[in-house]
Amino acid sequence: MPEFLQLLPPQNALDRLLVALKQSRGDSRTLDEEIDLSRALGRVTVEATHAPHPLPSFPRSTVDGYAVRAADTYGASDALPAYLTVIGEIPMGRAAGIDIKPYECALIHTGGMLPESADAVVMVEHTQGVRPGEIEVLRAAAVAENVLEIGEDVSAGQEVISAGTLLRPAEIGGLAGLGIVRLRVAKRPRVAIISSGDEVVPPETDIQPGQVRDVNAFTLSALVQDAGGEPVYYGIVADEADVMEATAREALESCDLVVITAGSSASTRDLTATVINRLGTPGVLVHGVNVRPGKPTILAVCDGKVMIGLPGNPVSALVIAGLFVAPVIRNLLGIRTERPKPALSAKLTLNLASSAGREDWIAVRLIKSEHGYLAEPVFGKSNLIFTLSRADGLVRIPPDATGLSVGQLVDVSLF
């Protein structure tokens, strides 16, 4: 049987991981904390917010004009205007404080509060001064015309933001409008990053023949920050089970998710799985995923915490972290509002071959053309980190395709 039939596709592998996490831990969400609204961008709510009062909280004019009783303007036209007495000006930021009687009106500004006895606003453009204290209304106003009514945005008690919402500027504005300046959000999951490999050295090292710098700790930290987690770096461990186990155990104590990037040799790849199985149950759930790059991925749950073993080469590690580490962080944050992921539609500039049954991810550069974007594959062996820095995003070749054709429209997931 070909190997790819024994390996899980990425989505199934992720599902298996998340199901096991839930079984092992119950509610998988991290703890929560209270923060100021001014620091809420990109954070995730842990409880629903209900409006403490309606918005707007008073009837507001949406134009500059005159607050009127609509009935007084019925039938008004250029030829046959309605005449109204101006009895005052409604102040901004205070109760209207004016009582409009039949055939009376008051000057009102955009955002001003409509007096109780008025029920519409005539735009200033549809009026004409006659003499001081009197106007002609040239067009009839319907009841509620040019008025935001109480509760037209949200009514009192209405759920305005649900639990598990990733907060964007609009939600933050809505909360400000309701006077909610402190709120409870999910704590950023702590994500341990452990590098391994006898050839791997810290980036500040003056490298010797045979040594490579630890690229993955940096790319993964950046990806974790971007996904809403807090990276915690545990350094480079030697390719020895006991050493790796001690570090991973320490990381499991204080972190929600532990990511180990393997050394690149076969022996150290197996080492990660061995160590993970010592650290808790159920242990390794998936060893090998039907995807390129990134086949040797390891997914595990140890006593309620997720451990992920990533391939050591930088490009595979980054692609696979996007497929597994970022979704686990979102799961731990309790994000329930899955918003569409940004992607751009583009035309392939080349044929791309792929093995049927395997999911492939290809780095592409986007080129603007007259008829939209072109996606040009950026080829490079998967060990070359600068291959990715020349790319704008990734194109997925689904497992049921044997490739994609030149000119075909593809969705590019932007980095």
Which region, judged by CB under 8 A, interacts with a copy of itself, from 68-76, 128-136, 306-314, 350-358?
A: 306-314
Tell me if 230 sits within 8 A of 251, measured CB to CB.
no
Q: Name the β-bridge partners of 305.
A: 302
Q: Which residues 6+ apart lie within 8 Å of 297 measured at CB?
A: 13, 286, 288, 289, 291, 308, 309, 310, 311, 320, 324
Binding region for a copy of itself (CB under 8 A) out of 14-22, 274-282, 347-355, 377-385? 377-385
State which of positions 9-28 bind a copy of itself (CB under 8 A).
none
Q: Does 200 bind a copy of itself (CB under 8 A)?
A: yes
**What is the spatial distance between Cα 227 and Cα 189, in angstroms, rounded to a whole number?**
10
E strands within 187-323? 190-196, 200-201, 212-213, 230-237, 257-261, 282-287, 291-292, 298-302, 305-310
Considering only 27, 34, 204, 370, the residue that binds a copy of itself (CB under 8 A) is 204
Among 216, 247, 316, 354, binds a copy of itself (CB under 8 A): 216
Query: With contact defined as beta carbons under 8 Å apart, do 48 and 166 qualify?
Result: no
Residues 318-347 that bind a copy of itself (CB under 8 A): 318, 339-340, 342-345
Residues 289, 21, 328, CA angle at the centre, nearest 5°?
65
Q: In the numeric block, which tokens belong to residue 37?
A: 């609204």
Residues 160 to 189 in contact with a copy of itself, rule: CB under 8 A? 160-161, 168-181
The count of chain residues that interact with a copy of itself, using the rule CB under 8 A, is 103
The two structure tokens encoding residue 245: 């186990």
Q: Binding to a copy of itself by residue 37, rule CB under 8 A? A: yes
Question: In the complex with a copy of itself, which residue's Cβ is closer, 184 or 213?
Answer: 213
Q: Which of residues 80-139 bind a copy of itself (CB under 8 A)?
A: 91-96, 109-113
CB of 365 vs a copy of itself, minimal distance in Å: 10
| Minimum gap (Å) between residue 55 Cβ and a copy of itself | 7
Contacting a copy of itself within 136-165 (CB under 8 A)? 148, 152-154, 160-161
Is 60 a residue that touches a copy of itself (CB under 8 A)?
yes
Rounded Cα gap, residues 266 and 402, in angstroms: 28
Retrieve residue 326's tokens.
């970022």
Binding region for a copy of itself (CB under 8 A) out of 24-32, 73-81, 208-216, 249-257:
208-216
